[in-house]
Amino acid sequence: MTDPTAAWAALMRVHATLVPALDRELQRTHGLPLTWYDVLAELDEAPHRRLTMGDLGDVAMVSRSRVSRVVDELVDAGLVTKESNPADGRSAYAVVTTQGRRRLRQARPSYLAAVERGFTANLSIREAETVARALGKVLAAGGPDD
Amino acid sequence: MTDPTAAWAALMRVHATLVPALDRELQRTHGLPLTWYDVLAELDEAPHRRLTMGDLGDVAMVSRSRVSRVVDELVDAGLVTKESNPADGRSAYAVVTTQGRRRLRQARPSYLAAVERGFTANLSIREAETVARALGKVLAAGGPDD
DNA sequence: TGTCTCTGTGTGCGTCAGCACGCACCCGGG
DNA sequence: CCCGGGTGCGTGCTGACGCACACAGAGACA
């Protein structure tokens, strides 16, 4: 209980058990790998539903280099298009297509339900808020430490 | 703030940023991949400092099949030995060697310090306890849900 | 304009992960 | 005795991942 790393250990275990379950769920019900869902969700809530590859790599949970490949796959699937940035010839925007948004809207309930079943349902409101706030602080400080 | 998945999203992000940092730290300071550390730690605190491959796969954060390869690597490195179970010819025990325990003892401070810097230091005592307890409940219920 | 540096991307390559499968072994019924 | 099903384990194969690098464009400066 008083083990200072208990919280961290529990976090790793929760992640290890829940992420594969979520991935399977999404893939089974909607044919969407968790990575795709994550990228689509990030793009969907971005200013003009678009993000440069670099920004996408920063905000999503995949490395900068992996973003190129995932976006390529999404383009092949018709869920995303790539547009060039007229102001910067190097930069490339990834933009969600209407089909991509539709797939995202269809998949979101499953995702939320799975998170609810495997995570939120086991927490009280206060606990969920505390966890979110605490981990938010970790993230805010997470930049320089490592 | 009231987003019910905020806690989960934060958890995934914390994991995504902290785990690679931890792995690098361990590998740089002691030449131990995080997977090795995890397996060694689990074995070290097991009843007779030994665990069958299956149990190890359940308790550690690697899949059952991956355990075989990791343990083989640890055996090659002299940190673990494999003993046969006289009561069951199929079963095989992985046992930490004294050298393995020494490496673990040497690495543990670095690991704890890294967790402290990147995680615990940003939380109050009460927050850390709440997070640990809340995630513990998730784990306890984690069996049947997925 | 020419050049030097910095930044945003894409990609070849090695590593690491898990799944599906096969083998060896235990155990119970006929 | 044996033989069928269940279990623990190792391994071939395939996909996911990130690092290091190469390349193109942008911007500063003379």
Report the number of distinct structural domains present in chain B. 1
Of residues A145, A38, A140, A54, the one with CA closest to residue A94:
A54
Please state the rounded mean pLDDT for residues B26-32: 92
Domain with A42, as residue range(s), is 6-140
Residue A79, CA distances (Å) to A12, A75, A104, B115, B142 in order: 32, 6, 9, 39, 33
What would the pLDDT profile of A19-67 be if each residue is shown by its tens digit?
A: 999 999 999 999 999 999 999 999 999 999 999 999 999 999 999 999 9
B98, two tokens = 């004294």
Does strand C come within 7 Å of the CB of B76?
A: no
Please report which confidence band the pLDDT of residue B146 belongs to, taking 50, 70 and 90 as the band edges.
very low
Q: Is B146's CB less than 7 Å from nucleic acid strand C?
A: no
Question: Measured in angstroms, what separates residue A83's CA from nucleotide D22's C1'?
Answer: 23
Cα gap B49→B20, rounded to integer Å: 27
- Give the distance, in angstroms, between residue B88 CA and nucleotide D15 C1': 35
For the record, the structure tokens of A78 come out as 């018709």
Read off the pLDDT of residues A85-103 as tens digits, 9 standing for 90 and up.
Answer: 998 989 999 999 999 999 9
Q: Is the CB of B65 under 7 A from strand C?
A: yes
Residue A72 lies in a domain: yes
The answer as to whether A129 is a domain residue is yes
Q: How far is the CA of B49 from the C1' of C29 (A)?
A: 38
Give strand letter and number of the nucleotide nearest B85 (CA to C1'): D8
% of chain A beyond a pLDDT of 70? 95
- A130 domain-assigned: yes
Answer whether residue A1 is part of any domain.
no
In a domain? residue A65: yes
Partners of A12 on chain B (C-beta within 8 Å) are 15, 19, 61
Q: Which nucleotide is nearest to A68 (CA to C1')?
A: C10
A6, pLDDT greater than 70: yes
Q: Any atom of strand D under 7 A from CB of A144?
A: no
Give CA–CA dist A114/A124, Å, rounded.
Answer: 17
Per-residue pLDDT of A88-141, as tens digits, reads 989 999 999 999 999 999 999 999 999 999 999 999 999 999 999 999 999 998
Q: Is the CB of B65 under 7 A from strand D?
A: yes
Residue A128, C-beta contacts closer than 8 angstroms, at least 6 positions apart? A120, B4, B6, B7, B134
Nearest protein residue to nucleotide C9, judged by CA and C1' positions: A90
pLDDT band at A146 (very low <50, low <70, confident <90, very high): very low
Query: Cβ of B137 and A128 within 8 Å?
Result: no
The distance of B33 to chain A (nearest Cα, Å) reads 16
- What digits encode the pLDDT tens for the residues B48-73? 999 999 999 999 999 999 999 999 99
Domain CATH number, residue A15: 1.10.10.10
In a domain, B1, yes or no: no
- Residue A128 within a domain: yes
Would strands B88-96 and B80-85 be described as parallel, antiparallel, or unpaired?
antiparallel
Is A126 within a domain?
yes
